């Protein structure tokens, strides 16, 4: 009787049951290997995130979203308003880009923030962009465009090198501490008490590229020696501490939400969307130096300010603040990213 030809898939020395078990185990192992190989490139490290931010900037200026790796139905907003990704807003009007780039990368959350300068119909404007990246594809793009009169986007020479400086590993603060320090800036603003936030003596703030602090920030011990803001005038001659300590912003203003876009521990950066809400109810303010400041008509109406703000934190102190100052919008207006439904906040 002729011998039965042995299949090339026969597992020698095993029963039919064992053969099936072995095949199942082998198939599972092969699937795991293939899955691991497929999933390995899905994570996006700092270099990957920054590269995507650069590609976004190039695609924006080229009006060509097809250049980008995107997930279906990308959620996109511009100055809090949901728009069609790649087809509306700055996607149609950007026509150039300056060599001004600040990045904050948060690989743990898959977020990257780019602050840069683009030309919109030949007018330079500051721009803040948050990208959410999942499996190396952009799923969200949130933008703040500085279309306001206060701007130095056309003349600022370049980004502050401080934001690109890597902090020594031994002195880096935890993620939670960095967020708390950034948030304390808003506590100081709301309460008119500069001592609530740890400002470095050399702290500087820039709004749309324009330096808006013009003095030292000596802190509570030397607060009395700072120049006093004259009644009816701005407080631009003060530093970070002095401006918040002056009481100038104690007009019922509440900064809500304070949503963090990214935490970059390596560079000591926290950046987020922060929206001060001014109720328009204050007719006058008594500054900390005793002067009485009457509110102008532009502050006696309710409004909310849209701004993306990046904090450089060194040794536990706020050292530099870069702001993309967006428009005033109706009081209490919220980004779709801050709402669970049209009627319910997150």
DSSP, collapsed to helix, strand or coil, labels residue 145 as: strand
One domain, residues 116 and 196: no
One domain, residues 130 and 173: no
9 belongs to a structural domain: no
Digit-coded pLDDT (tens) for 174-197: 999 999 999 999 999 999 999 999
DSSP, collapsed to helix, strand or coil, labels residue 190 as: helix
DSSP, collapsed to helix, strand or coil, labels residue 233 as: coil
One domain, residues 184 and 274: yes
One domain, residues 328 and 186: yes
One domain, residues 135 and 238: no
Q: Label residues 166-204 b or e (16+ Cβ within 10 Å = b).
A: ebeeeebbebeebbebbbbbbebbbbbbbbbbbbbeebb
Question: What pTM did the predictor assign?
Answer: 0.85
Q: What are phi and psi of 330, to 5 degrees?
A: -55, 145
One domain, residues 267 and 129: no
CA distances to 189, 200, 304 from 87, rounded to whole Å, are 37, 43, 27
Query: What per-residue confidence (pLDDT) applies to 217?
Result: 77
Query: What per-residue confidence (pLDDT) applies to 37?
Result: 36
One domain, residues 192 and 312: yes
Structural domain boundaries, residue 219: 169-338
**Residue whose tokens read 């976004």:** 56
267 belongs to a structural domain: yes
Query: What per-residue confidence (pLDDT) applies to 8?
Result: 31
Q: How many domains does the chain have?
A: 2
One domain, residues 131 and 180: no
Query: What per-residue confidence (pLDDT) applies to 5?
Result: 42
123 belongs to a structural domain: yes
> Which residues of the chain, if any, have pLDDT below 70?
1-42, 220-234
3 belongs to a structural domain: no
152 belongs to a structural domain: no
One domain, residues 201 and 291: yes
Helices (H), the chain: 16-39, 46-62, 90-93, 175-191, 240-245
One domain, residues 178 and 325: yes
Q: Tell me the CATH number at 293.
A: 3.10.450.50
DSSP, collapsed to helix, strand or coil, labels residue 230 as: coil
One domain, residues 179 and 240: yes
One domain, residues 193 and 323: yes
Please, are residues 280 and 301 in contact by the beta-carbon 8 Å criterion?
yes
Query: What per-residue confidence (pLDDT) applies to 289?
Result: 87
Tokens coding 43: 């994570």
210 belongs to a structural domain: yes
Domain-ending residue, one of 82, 112, 145 = 145
Residues making up the chain, counted from first to last? 346
Please, are residues 324 and 146 in contact by the beta-carbon 8 Å criterion?
yes
Query: What per-residue confidence (pLDDT) applies to 14?
Result: 43
343 belongs to a structural domain: no
Calpha distance 173→184 (Å, rounded)? 15
5 belongs to a structural domain: no
Digit-coded pLDDT (tens) for 210-257: 999 987 777 765 555 554 444 334 677 899 999 999 999 999 999 999
Query: What per-residue confidence (pLDDT) applies to 77?
Result: 98
Tokens coding 236: 């631009």
């Amino acid at each position: 009787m002729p011998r039965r030809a042995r299949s090339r898939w026969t597992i020698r020395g095993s029963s039919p049951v064992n053969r099936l078990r072995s095949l199942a185990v082998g198939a599972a192992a092969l699937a795991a290997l293939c899955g691991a190989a497929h999933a390995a490139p899905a994570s996006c490290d700092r270099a990957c995130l920054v590269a995507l931010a650069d590609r976004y900037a190039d695609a924006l200026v080229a009006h060509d979203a097809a250049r980008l790796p995107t997930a279906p139905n990308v959620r996109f907003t511009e100055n809090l308003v949901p728009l069609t990704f790649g087809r509306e807003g700055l996607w149609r009007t950007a026509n150039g880009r300056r060599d001004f780039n600040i990045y904050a990368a948060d690989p743990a959350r898959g977020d990257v923030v780019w602050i840069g300068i683009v030309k919109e119909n030949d007018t330079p404007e500051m721009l803040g962009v948050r990208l959410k990246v999942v499996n190396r594809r952009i799923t969200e793009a949130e933008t703040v465009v500085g279309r306001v009169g206060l701007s130095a986007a056309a003349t600022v020479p370049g980004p502050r090198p401080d934001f690109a400086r890597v902090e020594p590993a031994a002195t880096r603060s935890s993620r939670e501490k960095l967020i708390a320090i950034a948030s304390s800036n808003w506590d100081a603003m709301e309460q008119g008490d500069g001592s609530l936030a740890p400002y470095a003596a050399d702290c500087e703030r820039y709004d749309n590229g324009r330096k808006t602090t013009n003095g030292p920030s000596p802190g509570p011990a030397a607060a009395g020696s700072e120049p006093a803001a004259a009644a009816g005038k701005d407080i631009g001659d003060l530093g970070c501490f002095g401006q918040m300590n002056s009481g100038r912003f104690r007009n019922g203003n509440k900064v809500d939400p304070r949503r963090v876009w990214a935490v970059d521990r390596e560079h000591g950066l926290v950046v987020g969307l922060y929206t001060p809400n001014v109720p328009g109810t204050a007719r006058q303010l008594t500054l900390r130096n005793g002067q009485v400041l009457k509110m102008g008509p532009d502050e006696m109406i309710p409004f909310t300010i849209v701004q993306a703000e990046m904090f450089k934190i060194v040794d536990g102190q706020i050292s530099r603040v870069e702001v993309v100052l967006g428009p005033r919008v109706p009081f209490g207006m919220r980004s779709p990213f801050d709402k669970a439904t049209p009627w319910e906040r997150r």
